[in-house]
Amino acid sequence: MATRTRRSQRRTEALSRERIVEAAVELLDAAGEGGLTFRALTERLATGPGAIYWHVENKDELLGAATETVVAAALAVEPARTPDSPTGAPDSPAEAPDSPRDEIRAVALGLFEAIDEHPWLATQLATHLSRSPWGSVAPRIFESLGRRVRALGVPEGSWFLVTSALMHYILGAAGQNATNARAGGGGLDRDEFLDATATAWEELDPDDYAFTRAVAYQMRGHDDREQFLAGIDLVLTGIAATHPPDA
């Protein structure tokens, strides 16, 4: 009995909150929110429920921690490191963001790719923003964008407006893209889905949908990532035009 107790204690001590959250992300990626249960976690981690409850109180806390972990990784915009630059200094300007505008694009792309990679993330972000904007996730994203908006020279009176607009575009566009990518159009792959959509647009009434018909062919084979970044550039260009730096 004493031996089993010591082994149990060692397993509990070895099981960190970080490992639990890592396993939770793996389960969410594989099976969505419905697949994240404490029973599934205990099986994946080869431990008992008590060891998990020692670190996290309930599923909501676990979902929040998983969301925060993925978002934190997505927001980590750092200079590129190479074997020849151990301190992190880039060997060439192209290897790292070199302006607030470039860093905003990098942050936006990091969030876009995180939402694309983790199917459950868009829903969790929407939940956090609507139910607990005072929690850790929304302020983390807002701070990351806001510091760079300030570095652009945007006047202080426009910081909140500009940062909010950026954040809404990034999360909205990235979330919609992830939804579209997985909608599948009834089992179709992405190219088939886009082709079917373009074909349907081309068959719309020419009097009511002249513009939509004219651009329908551009739907086929477009690059979601490229389209997203084009939107970021439009927003940034608008910021520069309508909120020039203070003299």
Name the residue ranges covered by the structural domains of the chain.
Answer: 1-56, 79-242
If we measure between CA atoms, which residue out of 42, 36, 43 comes closest to residue 118?
A: 36
What percent of the chain has pLDDT above 70? 82
Q: 178 or 237: which carries more pLDDT confidence?
A: 237
Average pLDDT over residues 67-87: 68
Strands (E), the chain: none
Q: Indicate the pLDDT class of residue 129, thresholds 50, 70 and 90.
A: confident
Return the closest-CA partner of residue 114 out of 81, 79, 68, 82: 68
Residue 207 has pLDDT above 70, yes or no: yes
Q: Of the segments 32-36, 88-92, 128-132, 205-209, which one has the largest average pLDDT value?
A: 205-209
Specify the CATH class of 79-242 in words.
mainly alpha
Q: What's the whole-number mean pLDDT along residues 82-89?
A: 40
In Å, how far from its chain's centre is CA 92?
A: 28
pLDDT band of residue 14 (cuts 50, 70, 90) is low
- CATH number of the 1-56 domain: 1.10.10.60
* Among 3, 140, 155, 152, residue whose Cα is nearest residue 72: 140
What pLDDT score was predicted for residue 241? 94
Q: Is the pLDDT of residue 56 over 70?
A: yes
Report the percentage of the chain scoring pLDDT > 90.
Answer: 59
Q: Flag whether pLDDT at 28 surpasses 90.
A: yes
> What is the reported pTM?
0.80
Residue 221 has pLDDT above 60, yes or no: yes
Q: Report the pLDDT averaged over residues 11-39.
A: 86
> How far is it, in rounded angstroms, from Cα 188 to Cα 195?
10
Question: Residue 192: its pLDDT value, please?
Answer: 85
Q: Give per-residue pLDDT as tens, 164-194.
A: 999 999 999 999 888 776 655 456 677 888 8
Report which of 95, 191, 175 is spatially closest to residue 141, judged by C-alpha positions: 175
Q: How much is the average pLDDT of 148-174?
A: 95
Q: Is the pLDDT of residue 16 over 50?
A: yes
Q: Which pLDDT value is given to residue 4?
A: 46
